[in-house]
Protein backbone atom coordinates (compact mmCIF):
# COMPACT_ATOMS: atom_id res chain seq x y z
CA UNK A 1 0.00 0.00 0.00
CA UNK A 2 2.84 2.37 0.94
CA UNK A 3 4.61 1.65 -2.30
CA UNK A 4 1.43 2.21 -4.25
CA UNK A 5 0.80 5.46 -2.45
CA UNK A 6 4.31 6.65 -3.18
CA UNK A 7 3.88 5.97 -6.85
CA UNK A 8 0.55 7.83 -6.93
CA UNK A 9 2.07 10.75 -5.04
CA UNK A 10 5.05 10.95 -7.38
CA UNK A 11 2.77 10.71 -10.36
CA UNK A 12 0.55 13.45 -8.98
CA UNK A 13 3.52 15.68 -8.26
CA UNK A 14 4.91 15.14 -11.77
CA UNK A 15 1.54 15.93 -13.31
CA UNK A 16 1.22 19.01 -11.12
CA UNK A 17 4.64 20.17 -12.28
CA UNK A 18 3.53 19.55 -15.85
CA UNK A 19 0.39 21.59 -15.34
CA UNK A 20 2.35 24.41 -13.74
CA UNK A 21 4.82 24.37 -16.65
CA UNK A 22 2.01 24.41 -19.22
CA UNK A 23 0.24 27.17 -17.29
CA UNK A 24 3.43 29.20 -17.10
CA UNK A 25 4.10 28.84 -20.82
CA UNK A 26 0.48 29.53 -21.72
CA UNK A 27 0.41 32.59 -19.49
CA UNK A 28 3.62 33.87 -21.04
CA UNK A 29 2.31 33.20 -24.53
CA UNK A 30 -0.95 34.96 -23.84
CA UNK A 31 0.79 37.98 -22.34
CA UNK A 32 3.49 38.18 -25.03
CA UNK A 33 1.11 37.55 -27.90
CA UNK A 34 -1.28 40.24 -26.67
CA UNK A 35 1.55 42.77 -26.42
CA UNK A 36 2.93 41.85 -29.83
CA UNK A 37 -0.50 41.89 -31.45
CA UNK A 38 -1.16 45.35 -30.08
CA UNK A 39 2.25 46.55 -31.27
CA UNK A 40 1.68 45.14 -34.76
CA UNK A 41 -1.70 46.84 -35.00
CA UNK A 42 -0.12 50.07 -33.84
CA UNK A 43 2.58 49.74 -36.50
CA UNK A 44 -0.08 49.20 -39.14
CA UNK A 45 -1.81 52.38 -38.04
CA UNK A 46 1.51 54.24 -38.13
CA UNK A 47 2.19 53.03 -41.66
CA UNK A 48 -1.18 54.44 -42.72
CA UNK A 49 -0.56 57.88 -41.23
CA UNK A 50 -1.55 60.90 -43.30
CA UNK A 51 1.62 62.90 -43.93
CA UNK A 52 1.76 66.13 -45.93
CA UNK A 53 4.97 65.28 -47.73
CA UNK A 54 6.65 62.21 -49.10
CA UNK A 55 9.76 62.95 -47.02
CA UNK A 56 7.68 62.91 -43.84
CA UNK A 57 5.96 59.71 -44.91
CA UNK A 58 9.31 58.09 -45.67
CA UNK A 59 10.58 58.98 -42.19
CA UNK A 60 7.47 57.47 -40.59
CA UNK A 61 7.83 54.28 -42.63
CA UNK A 62 11.50 54.02 -41.70
CA UNK A 63 10.53 54.37 -38.02
CA UNK A 64 8.00 51.56 -38.47
CA UNK A 65 10.64 49.36 -40.09
CA UNK A 66 13.09 50.00 -37.27
CA UNK A 67 10.51 49.30 -34.57
CA UNK A 68 9.44 46.14 -36.39
CA UNK A 69 13.05 44.96 -36.34
CA UNK A 70 13.20 45.76 -32.65
CA UNK A 71 10.22 43.55 -31.77
CA UNK A 72 11.14 40.77 -34.22
CA UNK A 73 13.06 38.66 -31.64
CA UNK A 74 10.11 38.84 -29.23
CA UNK A 75 7.73 37.93 -32.08
CA UNK A 76 9.86 34.95 -33.09
CA UNK A 77 10.13 33.72 -29.47
CA UNK A 78 6.36 34.09 -29.09
CA UNK A 79 5.76 32.12 -32.31
CA UNK A 80 8.14 29.37 -31.15
CA UNK A 81 6.39 29.16 -27.81
CA UNK A 82 2.95 29.12 -29.42
CA UNK A 83 3.88 26.40 -31.91
CA UNK A 84 5.42 24.37 -29.11
CA UNK A 85 2.15 24.50 -27.18
CA UNK A 86 0.09 23.69 -30.27
CA UNK A 87 2.30 20.75 -31.26
CA UNK A 88 2.31 19.07 -27.83
CA UNK A 89 0.59 15.71 -27.79
CA UNK A 90 -0.27 15.86 -24.09
CA UNK A 91 -2.59 18.88 -24.22
CA UNK A 92 -6.11 19.49 -25.47
CA UNK A 93 -8.09 22.51 -26.70
CA UNK A 94 -5.00 23.89 -28.47
CA UNK A 95 -7.14 25.59 -31.14
CA UNK A 96 -7.22 28.83 -29.13
CA UNK A 97 -3.44 29.10 -29.18
CA UNK A 98 -3.32 27.88 -32.76
CA UNK A 99 -5.74 30.60 -33.89
CA UNK A 100 -3.71 33.27 -32.14
CA UNK A 101 -0.46 32.03 -33.65
CA UNK A 102 -2.08 32.14 -37.07
CA UNK A 103 -3.45 35.64 -36.44
CA UNK A 104 -0.05 36.92 -35.32
CA UNK A 105 1.64 35.35 -38.35
CA UNK A 106 -0.92 36.96 -40.65
CA UNK A 107 -0.47 40.36 -39.01
CA UNK A 108 3.31 40.10 -39.29
CA UNK A 109 3.27 39.07 -42.95
CA UNK A 110 0.63 41.65 -43.80
CA UNK A 111 2.71 44.39 -42.19
CA UNK A 112 5.79 43.10 -43.99
CA UNK A 113 4.09 43.23 -47.40
CA UNK A 114 2.52 46.58 -46.62
CA UNK A 115 5.82 48.14 -45.62
CA UNK A 116 7.71 46.73 -48.59
CA UNK A 117 5.07 47.96 -51.03
CA UNK A 118 4.69 51.39 -49.44
CA UNK A 119 8.43 51.90 -49.13
CA UNK A 120 8.93 50.92 -52.76
CA UNK A 121 6.13 53.15 -54.02
CA UNK A 122 7.07 56.04 -51.74
CA UNK A 123 10.69 55.83 -52.89
CA UNK A 124 9.61 55.78 -56.53
CA UNK A 125 7.30 58.74 -55.99
CA UNK A 126 10.09 60.59 -54.21
CA UNK A 127 12.41 59.94 -57.16
CA UNK A 128 9.77 61.12 -59.63
CA UNK A 129 9.11 64.27 -57.63
CA UNK A 130 12.83 65.01 -57.42
CA UNK A 131 13.19 64.46 -61.18
CA UNK A 132 10.15 66.67 -61.75
CA UNK A 133 11.57 69.52 -59.67
CA UNK A 134 14.95 69.39 -61.43
CA UNK A 135 13.34 69.29 -64.88
CA UNK A 136 10.83 72.00 -63.92
CA UNK A 137 13.53 74.46 -62.90
CA UNK A 138 15.41 73.88 -66.15
CA UNK A 139 12.23 74.27 -68.22
CA UNK A 140 10.99 77.40 -66.45
CA UNK A 141 14.36 79.06 -67.04
CA UNK A 142 14.26 78.17 -70.75
CA UNK A 143 10.62 79.28 -71.07
CA UNK A 144 11.41 82.65 -69.44
CA UNK A 145 14.28 83.18 -71.89
CA UNK A 146 12.14 82.22 -74.90
CA UNK A 147 9.27 84.41 -73.71
CA UNK A 148 11.69 87.34 -73.59
CA UNK A 149 12.96 86.55 -77.11
CA UNK A 150 9.44 86.24 -78.55
CA UNK A 151 7.75 89.04 -76.59
CA UNK A 152 8.80 91.61 -79.19
CA UNK A 153 9.99 91.14 -82.76
CA UNK A 154 11.41 93.82 -85.01
CA UNK A 155 8.78 94.65 -87.64
CA UNK A 156 9.11 92.63 -90.82
CA UNK A 157 10.99 94.69 -93.41
CA UNK A 158 9.78 95.67 -96.88
CA UNK A 159 13.07 94.61 -98.43
CA UNK A 160 13.42 91.03 -99.62
CA UNK A 161 17.08 90.69 -98.61
CA UNK A 162 16.31 91.92 -95.08
CA UNK A 163 13.23 89.67 -94.90
CA UNK A 164 15.47 86.74 -95.83
CA UNK A 165 17.82 87.66 -93.00
CA UNK A 166 14.92 88.00 -90.54
CA UNK A 167 13.54 84.63 -91.68
CA UNK A 168 16.92 82.95 -91.11
CA UNK A 169 17.10 84.39 -87.59
CA UNK A 170 13.52 83.28 -86.91
CA UNK A 171 14.26 79.77 -88.17
CA UNK A 172 16.87 79.39 -85.42
CA UNK A 173 14.22 80.17 -82.79
CA UNK A 174 11.72 77.80 -84.38
CA UNK A 175 14.27 74.97 -84.47
CA UNK A 176 15.19 75.59 -80.84
CA UNK A 177 11.50 75.52 -79.91
CA UNK A 178 10.87 72.27 -81.79
CA UNK A 179 13.96 70.57 -80.36
CA UNK A 180 12.90 71.52 -76.82
CA UNK A 181 9.67 69.60 -77.24
CA UNK A 182 11.47 66.42 -76.13
CA UNK A 183 12.25 68.11 -72.78
CA UNK A 184 8.60 69.13 -72.40
CA UNK A 185 7.54 65.59 -73.26
CA UNK A 186 9.95 64.21 -70.68
CA UNK A 187 8.42 66.20 -67.82
CA UNK A 188 4.93 65.24 -69.04
CA UNK A 189 6.06 61.60 -68.93
CA UNK A 190 7.30 62.10 -65.36
CA UNK A 191 3.87 63.46 -64.45
CA UNK A 192 2.15 60.48 -66.07
CA UNK A 193 4.46 58.05 -64.28
CA UNK A 194 3.80 59.77 -60.96
CA UNK A 195 0.08 59.57 -61.64
CA UNK A 196 0.45 55.86 -62.39
CA UNK A 197 2.27 55.33 -59.08
CA UNK A 198 -0.55 57.03 -57.22
CA UNK A 199 -3.12 54.83 -58.90
CA UNK A 200 -1.03 51.76 -58.09
CA UNK A 201 -0.62 52.73 -54.45
CA UNK A 202 -4.21 53.75 -53.78
CA UNK A 203 -5.57 50.22 -53.03
CA UNK A 204 -3.21 49.84 -50.05
CA UNK A 205 -3.76 53.32 -48.66
CA UNK A 206 -6.48 54.66 -46.46
CA UNK A 207 -8.78 57.45 -47.62
CA UNK A 208 -6.82 60.20 -45.93
CA UNK A 209 -3.61 59.22 -47.67
CA UNK A 210 -5.48 58.91 -50.95
CA UNK A 211 -6.75 62.46 -50.55
CA UNK A 212 -3.27 63.73 -49.81
CA UNK A 213 -1.82 62.00 -52.87
CA UNK A 214 -4.57 63.43 -55.04
CA UNK A 215 -3.68 66.86 -53.69
CA UNK A 216 -0.05 66.28 -54.68
CA UNK A 217 -1.19 65.12 -58.09
CA UNK A 218 -3.35 68.19 -58.55
CA UNK A 219 -0.42 70.42 -57.63
CA UNK A 220 1.88 68.69 -60.11
CA UNK A 221 -0.73 68.68 -62.85
CA UNK A 222 -1.36 72.39 -62.29
CA UNK A 223 2.34 73.09 -62.73
CA UNK A 224 2.41 70.88 -65.84
CA UNK A 225 -0.60 72.71 -67.25
CA UNK A 226 1.16 76.05 -66.73
CA UNK A 227 4.36 74.75 -68.35
CA UNK A 228 2.51 73.34 -71.36
CA UNK A 229 0.38 76.48 -71.69
CA UNK A 230 3.43 78.77 -71.69
CA UNK A 231 5.33 76.48 -74.07
CA UNK A 232 2.38 76.32 -76.48
CA UNK A 233 1.90 80.09 -76.31
CA UNK A 234 5.52 80.56 -77.37
CA UNK A 235 4.66 78.31 -80.32
CA UNK A 236 1.71 80.59 -81.14
CA UNK A 237 3.97 83.64 -81.10
CA UNK A 238 6.50 81.91 -83.36
CA UNK A 239 3.75 80.81 -85.75
CA UNK A 240 2.33 84.36 -85.88
CA UNK A 241 5.79 85.75 -86.62
CA UNK A 242 6.33 83.14 -89.34
CA UNK A 243 2.99 84.04 -90.91
CA UNK A 244 3.92 87.73 -90.83
CA UNK A 245 7.24 86.94 -92.52
CA UNK A 246 5.62 84.75 -95.16
CA UNK A 247 2.75 87.13 -95.86
CA UNK A 248 4.98 90.21 -96.06
CA UNK A 249 7.50 88.42 -98.28
CA UNK A 250 4.70 87.36 -100.62
CA UNK A 251 3.28 90.89 -100.74
CA UNK A 252 6.65 92.54 -101.33
CA UNK A 253 7.58 89.96 -103.96
CA UNK A 254 4.29 90.54 -105.79
CA UNK A 255 4.64 94.33 -105.69
CA UNK A 256 8.29 94.14 -106.80
CA UNK A 257 7.19 92.01 -109.73
CA UNK A 258 4.42 94.51 -110.53
CA UNK A 259 6.87 97.41 -110.40
CA UNK A 260 9.35 95.58 -112.61
CA UNK A 261 6.64 94.68 -115.10
CA UNK A 262 5.30 98.22 -115.24
CA UNK A 263 8.79 99.69 -115.59
CA UNK A 264 9.50 97.22 -118.39
CA UNK A 265 6.28 98.33 -120.05
CA UNK A 266 7.31 101.99 -119.76
CA UNK A 267 10.74 101.11 -121.17
CA UNK A 268 8.96 99.68 -124.20
CA UNK A 269 6.78 102.80 -124.56
CA UNK A 270 9.80 105.10 -124.20
CA UNK A 271 11.71 103.16 -126.78
CA UNK A 272 8.86 103.57 -129.27
CA UNK A 273 8.02 107.23 -128.66
CA UNK A 274 7.18 108.93 -132.00
CA UNK A 275 10.08 110.50 -133.94
CA UNK A 276 8.36 111.77 -137.05
CA UNK A 277 9.01 114.92 -139.14
CA UNK A 278 5.75 116.64 -138.43
CA UNK A 279 6.17 119.20 -141.27
CA UNK A 280 4.88 116.47 -143.58
CA UNK A 281 1.12 115.89 -143.29
CA UNK A 282 1.49 112.14 -143.83
CA UNK A 283 3.96 111.94 -140.97
CA UNK A 284 1.57 113.83 -138.70
CA UNK A 285 -1.19 111.32 -139.40
CA UNK A 286 1.21 108.44 -138.71
CA UNK A 287 2.29 110.10 -135.47
CA UNK A 288 -1.30 110.55 -134.30
CA UNK A 289 -2.05 106.89 -135.04
CA UNK A 290 1.13 105.75 -133.28
CA UNK A 291 0.48 107.91 -130.22
CA UNK A 292 -3.12 106.73 -129.89
CA UNK A 293 -1.92 103.13 -130.03
CA UNK A 294 0.57 103.78 -127.21
CA UNK A 295 -2.07 105.67 -125.21
CA UNK A 296 -4.43 102.71 -125.59
CA UNK A 297 -1.69 100.39 -124.29
CA UNK A 298 -1.13 102.64 -121.30
CA UNK A 299 -4.88 102.79 -120.70
CA UNK A 300 -4.96 98.97 -120.60
CA UNK A 301 -2.15 98.99 -118.03
CA UNK A 302 -3.72 101.81 -116.04
CA UNK A 303 -5.73 99.46 -113.79
CA UNK A 304 -2.60 97.42 -112.97
CA UNK A 305 -0.70 100.60 -112.21
CA UNK A 306 -3.48 101.94 -109.97
CA UNK A 307 -3.82 98.61 -108.18
CA UNK A 308 -0.06 98.46 -107.58
CA UNK A 309 -0.07 102.06 -106.38
CA UNK A 310 -2.94 101.42 -103.96
CA UNK A 311 -1.49 98.21 -102.56
CA UNK A 312 1.98 99.70 -102.02
CA UNK A 313 0.51 102.79 -100.37
CA UNK A 314 -1.51 100.51 -98.10
CA UNK A 315 1.65 98.56 -97.16
CA UNK A 316 3.54 101.80 -96.49
CA UNK A 317 0.69 103.08 -94.35
CA UNK A 318 0.82 99.90 -92.22
CA UNK A 319 4.65 99.82 -92.04
CA UNK A 320 5.85 103.40 -92.52
CA UNK A 321 9.14 103.15 -90.62
CA UNK A 322 10.33 99.61 -91.31
CA UNK A 323 13.55 98.90 -93.19
CA UNK A 324 12.93 98.99 -96.93
CA UNK A 325 9.88 101.24 -96.70
CA UNK A 326 11.65 104.32 -98.04
CA UNK A 327 13.16 102.37 -100.96
CA UNK A 328 9.77 100.92 -101.86
CA UNK A 329 8.20 104.37 -101.70
CA UNK A 330 10.96 105.75 -103.93
CA UNK A 331 10.41 102.98 -106.45
CA UNK A 332 6.69 103.70 -106.52
CA UNK A 333 7.23 107.46 -106.83
CA UNK A 334 9.73 106.88 -109.63
CA UNK A 335 7.22 104.71 -111.48
CA UNK A 336 4.42 107.26 -111.06
CA UNK A 337 6.68 110.09 -112.27
CA UNK A 338 7.75 108.10 -115.33
CA UNK A 339 4.17 107.18 -116.03
CA UNK A 340 3.03 110.79 -115.85
CA UNK A 341 6.00 112.03 -117.86
CA UNK A 342 5.42 109.55 -120.68
CA UNK A 343 1.68 110.21 -120.63
CA UNK A 344 2.40 113.95 -120.97
CA UNK A 345 4.85 113.34 -123.82
CA UNK A 346 2.29 111.29 -125.69
CA UNK A 347 -0.40 113.91 -125.11
CA UNK A 348 1.87 116.70 -126.32
CA UNK A 349 2.90 114.64 -129.33
CA UNK A 350 -0.73 114.09 -130.24
CA UNK A 351 -1.54 117.81 -129.92
CA UNK A 352 1.48 118.84 -131.96
CA UNK A 353 0.59 116.34 -134.68
CA UNK A 354 -2.99 117.55 -134.80
CA UNK A 355 -1.83 121.14 -135.24
CA UNK A 356 0.44 120.06 -138.07
CA UNK A 357 -2.46 118.71 -140.14
One digit per residue, the tens of pLDDT, for the chain of length 357 reads 677 767 777 677 766 766 777 788 888 888 988 998 898 888 888 777 655 566 777 777 788 888 888 888 998 888 888 888 887 776 666 778 888 889 899 888 888 888 888 888 888 888 888 999 999 999 999 999 999 999 999 999 999 999 999 999 999 999 999 999 999 999 999 999 888 887 776 544 444 444 444 444 468 889 999 999 999 999 999 999 999 999 999 999 999 999 999 999 999 998 888 775 544 566 778 888 888 999 999 999 999 999 999 999 999 999 999 999 999 999 999 999 999 999 998 998 888 877 776
Contacts of residue 29, Cβ cutoff 8 Å, sequence gap at least 6: 78, 81, 82, 85, 97, 100
pLDDT at 207: 45
Neighbouring C-alpha atoms within 13 Å toward the C-beta of 147? 12
**pTM check: above 0.85:** no
pLDDT at 204: 44
Q: Find out whether 227 and 65 touch, Cβ atoms under 8 Å.
A: no
**What is the maximum alpha-carbon separation in the chain?**
185
Q: Find out whether 316 and 251 touch, Cβ atoms under 8 Å.
A: no
Q: Find out whether 103 and 30 touch, Cβ atoms under 8 Å.
A: no
Distance CA 127, CA 125 (A): 5
pLDDT at 288: 86
pLDDT at 15: 66
Amino acid sequence: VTEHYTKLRDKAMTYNEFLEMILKKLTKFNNDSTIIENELKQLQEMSSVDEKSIDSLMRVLQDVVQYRKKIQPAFEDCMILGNELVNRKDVTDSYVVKDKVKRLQTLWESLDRRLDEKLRLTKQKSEKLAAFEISKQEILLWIAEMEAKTAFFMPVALDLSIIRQQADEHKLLVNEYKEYHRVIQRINDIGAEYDSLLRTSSPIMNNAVDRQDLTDLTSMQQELQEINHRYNFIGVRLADRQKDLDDTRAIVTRQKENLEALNAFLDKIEKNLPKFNLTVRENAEKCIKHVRKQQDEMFEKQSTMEMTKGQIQEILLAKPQVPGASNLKNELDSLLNRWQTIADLLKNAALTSERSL
